[in-house]
Amino acid sequence: MGHAHNHNHGHSHGNGHGHCHAPADFGRAFAIGVVLNTFFVVVEAVFGYISGSMALVADAGHNLSDVLSLMIAWGASVAAKRPPTSRFTYGLKSSTILAALANAMLLLIAIGAILFETIQRLIEPAPVAGWTMVVVAGVGIVINTLTALLFISGRKQDLNIRGAFLHMVADALVSVGVVVAGVVILMTGQVWIDPVTSLLIVAVIAWGTWGLAKDSVKMGLHAVPDGIDENAVRSFLSGLDNVSAVHDLHIWPMSTTETALTAHLVMPTGHPGDAFLQEVAHRLEHDHGIGHTTLQIETARESCGLGHAAHD
């Protein structure tokens, strides 16, 4: 049969199937989140410096990194909507993966800076204004919770949006910790509680950063996205009528919301027709969340060449 390969694309983009393919409607959420959190960073940093609270200063630094993270994620979500070009044939969809990785790196930098200042404060304790900590951190709880709610609907479909959501939730929890620390300082007068609270904030940031970094690196390396079972996909393709073998199966993230698949199907009875390919693409999207499918039909395994056996 030589190499007369048929490349067929089934791009049914999930109308009614419940698969979100873009952070299309989060521009307003990003804008509101950036404005609110920029305002709060300034307030928290100023009052943290005035009150002598390292916990407030640490949280301000964390919130500043979150503002930068929101801006990066926002820019990536806009870039992901740009159409393909002759050089970037997938468009700039993968910029959302780069944004998630950049956000993780920013958080690591913030952790280092906060940790350095906190250790200094542990070595040289200083008086802290407890009421200032309580009031400012209380405002932070409100702002971070409101911002988190802006992203709650997209947190399961998009790593970029999930990163923004988790940042805001973590910030709200950290602010709760600062409020508690302020109350305890007011009750006991123990100033060491402030830098210890700052260390706990660093631990919370580090925990969230590890998860975000791990997921974004996996996506950058084209690992099969979480939630997609490669064995289940292979079994589905192998069980199709007249398919005798499946090889060169690849599943990878095109962005934080879109997944692609390519596979070679060995069908000795010949090409099954476009209706078959469209139905397979529809099933892959509906049942497995894979929205971009390319299938290559072969009438014999050997027609693809000997080199492909290693890719099974």
**Statement: residue 293 has pLDDT above 50:** yes
Alpha-carbon distance values, 108 to 114, 148, 164 (Å): 10, 21, 16
Question: What is the mean predicted confidence (pLDDT) over 35-41?
Answer: 88
Does residue 177 sit in the same domain as residue 282? no
Judge whether 20 lies within some domain. no
So what's the pLDDT on residue 195?
81
Cα–Cα distance, 248 to 264 (Å, whole number): 6
Is 21 a member of any domain? no
What CATH number does residue 122 fall under?
A: 1.20.1510.10
Q: What is the CATH number for 251?
A: 3.30.70.1350
Domain containing 58 equals 27-220
Question: Tokens standing for 265?
Answer: 């199907």
Q: What is the pLDDT of residue 272?
A: 85
Write out pLDDT tens, residues 185-206: 888 888 788 888 878 878 877 8
pLDDT at 303: 58
Written as six digits, the tokens of 191 are: 């100033």
Residue that finishes a domain, picked among 167, 202, 220: 220
Sign of the C-alpha dihedral computed for residues 72, 74, 80 and 86 taken in this order: negative
pLDDT of 257 strictly over 80: no
**The predicted structure's pLDDT at residue 252:** 93
pLDDT digits (tens, 9 = 90+) for 104-161: 887 787 778 778 877 877 887 767 777 888 888 898 899 889 888 888 876 666 667 7
pLDDT digits (tens, 9 = 90+) for 217-233: 888 888 998 889 999 99
**Residue 289 pLDDT exceeds 60:** yes
144 and 278 part of one domain: no
Residue finishing a domain among 195, 220, 245: 220
Which is more confidently placed, 167 or 144?
A: 144
Host H or E run for residue 164: helix 159-188
DSSP-assigned letter for residue 158: -
Q: Is the pLDDT of residue 305 over 60?
A: no
Is 82 found in the same domain as 31?
yes
Within this chain, do residues 138 and 53 fall inside the same structural domain, yes or no? Answer: yes
Q: Is residue 27 within 8 Å of 74, Cβ to Cβ? A: yes
Residue-level pLDDT at 301:
67
Residue 10's H or E segment, with its range, is strand 6-10
Q: What is the pLDDT of residue 244?
A: 92
**Residues 123-137 as b or e (16 or more Cβ within 10 Å = b):** eeeeebbbebbbebb
Sheet of 292-298, strand order:
6-10, 292-298, 259-266, 245-253
Which residue matches tokens 């490349």? 7
Entry pTM: 0.66
Do both 114 and 148 map to the same domain? yes
Nearest to 236 by CA among 304, 289, 166: 289
Q: Tell me: do 178 and 244 sit in the same domain.
A: no
Q: CA 263 to CA 48: how far, in whole Å?
A: 57
Q: To the nearest whole percent, how much of the chain has pLDDT over 70?
A: 86
pLDDT at residue 20 in the model: 39
Q: pLDDT-derived band of residue 302, with 50, 70 and 90 as boundaries?
A: low
- Backbone phi and psi for residue 27, each to the nearest 5 degrees, phi listed first: -60, -45
Per-residue pLDDT at 236: 94
End of a domain among 172, 191, 220?
220
